[in-house]
Amino acid sequence: MIGPKVYETVADMRQAVDAARAAGERVALVPTMGALHEGHLSLVRAAREHAGHVIVSIFVNPTQFAPTEDFDAYPRDSEADLKLLAGLGVEGVFMPPATEIYPPGFATVVSVGGPAEGLESATRPHFFGGVATVVTKLLLAALPDVAIFGEKDYQQLCVIRRFVRDLDIPVEILGGPTVREEDGLAMSSRNRYLGTEARRTAALVPQVLNEAIERIDAGEEASTVLAEGTARLTQGGFAVDYLELRDAETLAPVDAQSARARVLVAAKLGQTRLIDNMSLARPANGWR
């Protein structure tokens, strides 16, 4: 099996992208922080449907972690990642050192309002500045035709769509559905932090989301349903940051039942913070 080419500099990646374009290929980028799982791989497969040349970036972005968060502990396994990506026939992997992305004197932040306000920002005010800055850099570094992100990080996807439109970055942004474990838990690199019992408890998150969706879809008052869901998570041992119904595009609060609405949740189980979301209006295959 021939592995993907690994690039550590923007210049090297750009050269490969230029060569692919010159050969008539479309180019797709899948940005990740590594420790790859089936959720990431689903995005890579989706990328393949849109482009003959697929690049995955692996960069644990320091600016989206607060000093108190898990930057040092964040799982890193580039050998396993490269093997998985070789299995999918990915052409290139961009694995820059931090100094390639943030050279000495770096002084720029992409600051997004609108969908970046509230939810994650309430407890992680540094987060979207870090994400928007690094994703802007990755998009401009690779200049792909299309870039693919997961609905798992739904607010992040809305924020990326917003600044890409606002800054006229000429890249199509696509969202891929959340890939889940059998018990419904959304796959996440951070699930590795969960011990056996916490892992079992974690399934309460998708259960509460799914039940909330069903009850709101059936016409129950959202505020009552969400308050009960919060109580269930709290009783289950979670510290709930939010469980809210929001407009699916602007993320503005909505209280009426709306086909465009999504329920979003963030809750901590011990030191592990889980986030998830589901949309109103049930698709045929159950989880949404």
Is there binding between residue 275 and ligand AMP (CB under 6 A)? no
Q: At what angle do helices 204-217 and 222-235 cross, to 10 degrees?
A: 160
Min separation Cβ 256 and ligand AMP, Å? 28
Min separation Cβ 117 and ligand AMP, Å? 19
Q: Which of residues 116-175 bind ligand AMP (CB under 6 A)?
A: 149-150, 152-153
HEC secondary structure over 203-264 = CHHHHHHHHHHHHHHCCCCHHHHHHHHHHHHHHCCCEEEEEEEEECCCCCECCCCCCCEEEE
Please give the size of the binding site for ligand AMP, defined by CB under 6 A: 17
Q: Which of 28, 112, 187, 264 binds ligand AMP (CB under 6 A)?
A: 187
Question: For residues 23 and 68, what is the distance between their CA atoms, to the nearest angstrom?
Answer: 46
Q: At what angle do helices 10-22 and 127-142 cross, to 10 degrees?
A: 50
- Per CB under 6 A, which region of 116-124, 184-192, 211-219, 266-274 contacts ligand AMP? 184-192
Q: Which of 4, 176, 184, 229 binds ligand AMP (CB under 6 A)?
A: 176
Is there binding between residue 178 and ligand AMP (CB under 6 A)? yes
Question: For residues 58 and 94, what is the distance between their CA atoms, to the nearest angstrom?
Answer: 6
How far lies 268's CA from each of 10, 72, 124, 143, 229, in Å? 36, 19, 13, 36, 15
Active site residue 40: yes
Is there binding between residue 179 and ligand AMP (CB under 6 A)? yes
Q: Nearer to ligand AMP by C-beta: 31 or 222?
A: 31
Is there binding between residue 43 and ligand AMP (CB under 6 A)? yes
Is there binding between residue 188 and ligand AMP (CB under 6 A)? yes
For the chain, the maximum distance between any two Cα atoms, rounded to a whole number of angstroms, is 58
* Length of the chain, in residues: 288
Residue ranges in contact with ligand AMP by CB under 6 A: 32-33, 39-40, 42-43, 149-150, 152-153, 176, 178-179, 186-189
Residues tagged active-site: 40
